[in-house]
Structure 1
C-alpha cells in the first residue's frame, strides 16, 4: 500500500514560473547532504535549499547575457558545485564562493547536454553528440576532441547509475519518429545501441529507469495512456546488427472510466510508480493530479488533485515528491509499504516479515507434457478454491485460433533458429501471460532441448539474458545447468549458482569439479563476474598480482613467518606483503559462487569424496587463503558483493577435510598445508583466549570501580600481566 502524507511549500517561484528571475525550473538535483536540494532556473540562477527548514542556504547567478544551460549538480566527492554556462563553459565552485565570475572556468570543445553526479562515481558529462566523459578526464584537457556518437538524433532523456564500481549512463534519442536507446559503460568505454520497438499511433513521452541484477529496467510513459517496461542487458553485445528492444505493458493508466494523461513518472520501489498528469473523465473537465500506482496489482493506490496546475515536471528524493504547483514549489511526503495481497486485504500480520519467495517448483515441463496448455498446468500446481473461482471468472473460453504455450513450442520444434528465437522472445514479451514465470521455464526448456538435439546450437547470449533478468529457479529449468556444464559455459554457471536457490548437490559438485579443472590460461579468455573478489584482489592485466591490505590484529610475527615459509606452487599469485592466492581472480570468483551456493551436508559429502586429490588440495589451499584474509579483519568479513562469509569458509573446510582426510594425510604436498592450517588455528585460539582474559580483567576492574567512592580524585596505573 502507498499513501501521500503531509505537504508544504519549499519556495515561491518568479513571475515566469521559476526561482528568482528565470523562466521556469530547469531541474531539481540532490544537494551535498540528504536534506539539501539544488534548484536550477531556466535562466541564470542556482539555489541550494534545506528542505526541512524551507530556507535557502546559498544562491549563485551568472552575469546578465549569460545562461545556465543544464542542471547544476553537486560533486559528492569534493563537495563542489558544477554548472554549464552557454552550453560549453564549465563553472566549478564551493559554498564559500559568492561571485561566479571569479570561480574556476573551463571552455569545452563541444556542447554539453547534461551532467550526472553519482555518489561514489563522480560527475559524468554527456555531450549533445552522444559522447560521454568523466569530469576528471575533461578537466585534464578541456579542449580535447569530442567524438560524435549520434547522427541527426536528438537526446530526449538521460540517467546514470553505478553497477558495482562501474558508472553506467543510459540515454534515449529520437530521429524521424524512431527512438533509440544507448547504454555507455564509462570506465570500459563500451557503448551499446538499441532501437525501441515502434508502436503505431503512440510515442514515448517520458522515461525513467532503475538497475537490478546486471540489467536496466527502462519504463516508458506513452501517449496512449500506458506505461511499458523494457529490459536492457548490460553485457556487451557483439552482434553487428542493430537490436530492437521489445516492450511489455506494465500499467494502463485508467480506472473506473477515468484516464490519466501522464506527463512525468518516477519509480518509488519495485512495485510502485508515481505519475503526474491530467485525469480526465468523459463529460467532465480534466484535473491535474499526482498519482501513485501499484504495478503488481495494476491498481491506483492514491491521488491528489492539483487545482492550480503544474509544469508537468516531477522529482522524487528521500521519500518526498517535488513539483511546481501554481507559483510555488510544493513538497509532498509519501510512504510505500510491502506490496502483497495480504497487505491489500488487511491480513498482513507483520510488515517486517520477508516477502514470500517468488520461486515455484515446476516439475511438469517435460517433453511429453509440452502439449498441455498453461492453464491446465496451473491447475496441477494449485487446486485451491480461490484459484478455481478466479479461473472460472477470468479465463475466457478457448478460441480456435489461440494456441497454448505447449502447442506453440511443439509447432516451433522444426522451425529455423532465427524464427525459433524470435517467437520465443515475442512469447516472453507478451504483456498478458497467465503465468509468466512458468512460460519462461517452458522457453528455457525448449532452448535446452534444441541444444541437446543440435550440438552446434547454443544461444549463450539469449540464455544469459533470461537468467539475469528473470526470477528463475533450478526446478523451473532443470536441464539448463546440465547443458551449460556440457558446453563449459562458466559465466552462465556462475550466474545460476548466485541466483538459483534450489540447485541439487550433484550439480554443485559438478560445477566445483569443472572450475577446479579449468586452467588459469583458459580463464583469461572467458567472461567471469569478478564482483566477489575485486575488492580484496586487485587485478592487473599484465602480471595478475594480488594486493591485500595489511591489518595488525595481534598475531605473532615470528609465527606468521613460520606459516608462510612453505613453498608456494608455481600457479600461486604472490603479493608484496607475503600473502599467496593459489588461484587466479577468475577461478577465485567461480569458486566463491560455489561456496555461496545452498547445500545439505548429508547430500554433498558423498560427491565430494569423488573429487580428485590434487583438486581437493587446491580447493583447500584457496579456502585457507580466504580464512587468513577473513582473520586479518576485525569484523571477519570479506569486502565485495557475493563474497564468502567466515562461516561458509569454515563449513567448506570441514566438509573437504571430512571427505579427504586420509588422502590429505598421505599426500606430501598436503602435509605442509595441514601443518600451516594447524598452526594458524592454534594461533587464533591463543589470540582469542588472550582476548577473553582481557575481557574478564576489564569486567573485574569495572566491578571494583563501582564499589569505590566516586567523589574522591585519584590517578591509577593498571598493569595487566
Structure 2
C-alpha cells in the first residue's frame, strides 16, 4: 500500500516562481534540509520539519540563475551557475553571493549534478562533462562538442553504480530523441536512438529513471497518457554505433491523453511511481501513486489550484508547485505485495500481541535455536530431566550448522538423524538453514557431497526450489538422478529451465546397458537407484511385462514395446508431472538434441497407446501420468522441434503414427460433439413447462 499524508506549504516570501515553476529542489548535506532555486535570482535553504528557511542568497540585479543550486556532499558547500557560465561556490555562513568564490567557464552549463559518495559533475550544453575539481583547476579549459548542432539536452540524471559515477542525458533534434550514457571513470560514451510514437514527437515527454542492476530503467510519460519504459545497458559492448531502444508499455492511461501541461512523473522505488496530471480530460490536476508491479492505483490527491508540471522527491517527501506555493507532501510506500496492491492488506497487530505467523520469514528466522519456543519452556523441570535421560543428546540448530562446516560426512549424517528425530517448532526455517549450510560447503569443497543428508532433508516434505535453489544444480552436477526425481516429485516451484535440464540428463544418461536391463533387471543400479525404490519397482513390475502377460489384460489394441528401460521411464514420468508454463518451457525444449527428442516422443506415444485403449486403465507406478499430460507434452515437443524431427529418417514412422493419432482424436471429439448436441435437443424436447415444481425422474437410454 501507498499513502499520501497531509500536505503543508513552505514559506514563499523570498521565492519567485516563474511561468514554468522553480528551477529545482535539491538535497543538502543535512537529511531534513533542501535547496530550492527559483526561476530568477534566489536560492533558499529550507528545513522542512520546521517549515522555515535557514538561509537565502541572491545574485545581483540583472543577473539570472540558470541551473539549480546543489550541495557538494564532500565539502558541505553550495554551488550554483548564473548567466550560463559563471559558477559560484559558498558556505552556509556566507551572506552575499557577490563576495563568494567565482569562476567563469569557457562554455555554457546545462546543469550541475551532485550525489553522495562522489564529487559534483558539471554537464555542459554541448554534452561535455567535467568533475568539479578538474574544472576548478582550469576553468577556461576547452570542452568538446559531444552532441551535433541543433541537438538540445532535454533531461539528465546522475547515478552511482557500484562506485562508478554514471551520467545519462537525453537530447532532442527535430522531434527525434537520443540517449547518451557516460561512465565517468572510464570516459566511455554510448549513444542510443529512442524510438517514440508519432504522437510523442510533437509534445515533450516527462522522463525519470532509476538503476536496475546492470541497466538503467528509463521511464517517461507520453502525450497519449501512458507510461513507457526501456532498459538501457550501463556497460555497452558497442560504443561506436548509435543503437536503438524500443519502448515497452508500463502503465496505460494514467493521465488524460493530450494533457500538455501540469504533467510529471518520478520513480519512488522499484514498485511505485508518482504521477502528476489530470486523470480525465475534464478533471482537475491530481497527484497519484501507482504500483507498477501490479498495475494498480494506490492513492491520489486532487490539486484544485493547478501545478507547473514539476515534481521532485527526496527520501519520503514529494515537492511540487501547487498554485504559487511550494507544497510538501510526505508519503509512505510499503513493501509491494498482492494484498497491498489490491487494498486487502490487514493492519499490523497491536503491541503486546504475538500471533503465530502464517508465512515464514526466512531471513529473520535464520539462526533460530531449538529450545527457545514457548512449548519447550512450558515443560516442567522433572519432565525435561526424564526426556533427557531417555533420549540421546540432540544438537541445536546453531551447533548443527557448526558441525556441518567442519566435520566429516558420516558424523554430519549421524547428528542430522538425531536432529530430525526430535519434533521441532518452526521446522521450515531450520531445515532451510541446514540445507543452505550443506550447499555452501559443497560449493567451497567440490569433493564434499553429503548425498544421504540431502536425501533425508528432501524427505521431510518441507523444502521447495525457492528455499534451496542450489540443491538441484548440485544434483545435476553429480548426475544424481534419484535426487532429481525426488525433487521433481516434491518441489512445486521448479523453473522450466531446471526441468529441461533434468529432462536432458534423463534422456542422455545411460543407466548401465539399457537394452540388457529391459530384458533382465539388474540388482544394483548406479546414481542411487536400488530395487527397493518403491517409485520405480511398480514401474518395473508392470512395464517389464512380457507380451503374453499383456494379453491377459483387457486391452483391445496392440501395445508396442516400451522404448526405454523401466527406471528411465520412472524418471521421465516425474518430468511429465512437473508444473510448467508453456511460454517459458518451449525455448528450453529447442535445446534438446534431436535423437533425444525422438526417443521421448516414442516413449510418449507408447504411453498414449497404453492409456487410450481403455479409459478405466491406468499406467503403472505410484503416480503415473494422465492422458492429458501425455498429449500436452507431445504437442509441446512437436511445437518446439517439428522441423528437426521431420528431417530425421528414424522418426518418419513415428510422425506417421502421431498423424494417425491426431486424426483419431479429431474423430473422437467430433463424435462427442454430436452426442452433446443430441443431449441438448433431448433436453429441449423433454422440458414440460406445466411440470415445474414437481418431482419426477426420467431415464433416457441411448444405444
TM-score by length of 1: 0.49
Larger strand proportion of the pair: 1
TM-score by length of 2: 0.50
Mark the structure with the bigger radius of gyration: 2
